[in-house]
Amino acid sequence: MIHKRIRPFNTRETYPEQKLDNDLCQAVVARGTTVFLRGQVAQDLDTRESLHVGDARAQTEKAMQNIQTEINQMLTDAQKSEFADKGYVMMRGAVAPSVLQALLAQLDVWVEESRGHETNYDFDTPNGKARFDLEQGHSATAPRLRRVANPVDISKLYQTLLFEGNLPEMVADLIGPNVFFHHCKLNNKFPGANTRVEYHADHPFDPHTNDDGITVLMFLDDMDEGNGCARLVPGSHKERYTHFRDGKFIGATDPKLFDTFDQRAESLEGKAGDVCLMDIWTLHGGGPNLSSDRNRRMLIADYRAADAFALVAPAVPSRFYRKIVAGEPTHVARFREGTMEILEPYPDDSFFGLQEQITADGAMQ
């Protein structure tokens, strides 16, 4: 019977004292869209910690919350249709508050560490570029750590979230069943940050033999136009726009098209814990964070179909590149018919530096 397992786990890790080795899961989707749930208790689904011992009311509420969390991570036919039509779909409340708190606590540690640096730092990465990218104006008293490249490479917390949590299952619903992890990054727009992201698609940065890929946008803060939320152009995943100018990769579409995209774009607003699943061809950008006291922190993760193989070296390489997170690996590449622009590796530590340099050179004036 064709079925989908939700939140799989092995008793060897969950109940080590019982000396068992059984593959189980929290829920199974079978017989079309029927959901079969394992008996739920007051347990943290990510840490597996038992909660609210001795408090029957709180235990019941947590068990019901777990059921809602597991159902939320399953895409409905309507959501899949919306993704196919628009090139993205929102999954509300996909990340538990306890997980959000842990992610932000780790990010706060990195921000504190950045106070001791004046320029981009930590070059112990696969391509020798800085892991930590500092915004102009950064100082010890006013830290402005705007990007952390591949936090999974240095944090078990992020590994668990992106490799073992519900996100790979959501992605597999759209491009599966076999999926690998490509890379991830943490982006931070501080209050008053003037950083603007020009319209671009993700696939041109990392072209593969086929373009079955999903970019996950995870909200770590509430987001709206006031604090510089992302803006996505619905339907643009079915279109193709060059990211080159005068033979040079500029990391964005033709600036003459920006006004047109602004008129078509939708603001990606939502609450902390919401997740957007975005096609890697969908055009997106974002304005500055004009608020005085609101951060706009987002975790971005890129996943690809297992039979997609890179045509150039990854732009943001992770030591976990091509880690299978759903289904099975393959050594057979699937090719998408057509043509693809191929970029030369750019020297900047991050995408932000690339777009800033282009502006400074006058290419996007």
Give pLDDT tens digits for 123-169.
Answer: 999 999 999 999 989 999 999 999 999 999 999 999 999 998 789 98
At residue 363 the predicted structure's pLDDT band, cuts being 50, 70 and 90, is very low
Is the pLDDT at 176 greater than 50, yes or no? Answer: yes
Both 54 and 128 in one domain: the answer is: no
What number is the average pLDDT over the span 45-59? 81
Looking at the structure, do residues 142 and 34 belong to the same domain, yes or no? no
Cβ neighbour number for residue 242 with a 10 Å cutoff: 11
CA distance linking residue 254 with residue 363, whole number of Å: 10
Q: Which pLDDT band holds residue 365 (cuts at 50, 70, 90)?
A: very low
Q: What is the CATH number of the domain that holds 180?
A: 2.60.120.620
- According to the model, what pLDDT value does residue 28 have? 76
51 and 110 together in one domain: no
Are residues 341 and 210 part of one domain?
yes
Answering whether pTM is above 0.85, one says: no
- In the predicted structure, residue 82 carries a pLDDT above the cut 70: yes
pLDDT score for 79: 92
Instruction: Say yes or no: 52 and 85 in one domain.
Output: no
Q: Identify whether residues 31 and 63 lie together within a single domain.
A: yes
Give the pair of three-digit tokens for residue 360. Answer: 């400074």
Q: Is residue 67 part of a domain?
A: yes
Asked if 279 and 137 sit in the same domain, the reply is yes
Q: Are residues 59 and 103 in the same domain?
A: no
- Does residue 104 sit in the same domain as residue 153? yes
283 or 248, which is more confident? 283
Structural domain that includes position 51: 1-74
Does residue 329 form part of some domain? Answer: yes
* Cα distance between residue 205 and residue 312, in whole Å: 9
Looking at residues 240-259, what average pLDDT do you find?
A: 93
Tens-digit pLDDT profile for residues 314-325: 989 999 999 999
CB-based burial, 356-365: b 16+ in 10 Å, e otherwise = bebbeeeebe
Q: How many domains does the chain have?
A: 2
Q: What is the mean pLDDT of residues 60-79?
A: 75
Same domain for 352 and 204: yes
The answer, yes or no, to whether residue 170 has pLDDT greater than 80, is yes
Q: Report the alpha-carbon distance of residue 59 to residue 67 in Å, rounded.
A: 13
In this predicted structure, what is the pLDDT of residue 33?
A: 58
Do both 177 and 296 map to the same domain? yes
Say whether both 64 and 200 belong to one domain.
Answer: no
Rounded CA-CA distance 203/305 in Å is: 13
Residue 62 is predicted with a pLDDT of 82
Q: What is the DSSP string of 234-262?
A: TTGGGS----EETTEE-SS--GGGHHHHH
Flag whether 304 is in a domain: yes
Structure tokens at 249: 């990769």
- 365 is a domain residue: no
Among 74, 102, 117, where does a domain finish?
74
Residue 359 has pLDDT above 70, yes or no: no
| pLDDT at residue 259 is higher than 90 | yes
d(CA 178, CA 306): 5
Q: Using the 3D structure, point to which of 59, 74, 89 is the last residue of a domain.
A: 74
Residues 184 and 301: beta-carbon distance below 8 Å: yes
Residue 357: predicted pLDDT? 54
Of 13, 42, 74, the position where a domain reaches its end is 74
Are 168 and 5 a contacting pair, CB within 8 Å? no
* pLDDT grade for 207, boundaries at 50, 70 and 90: very high
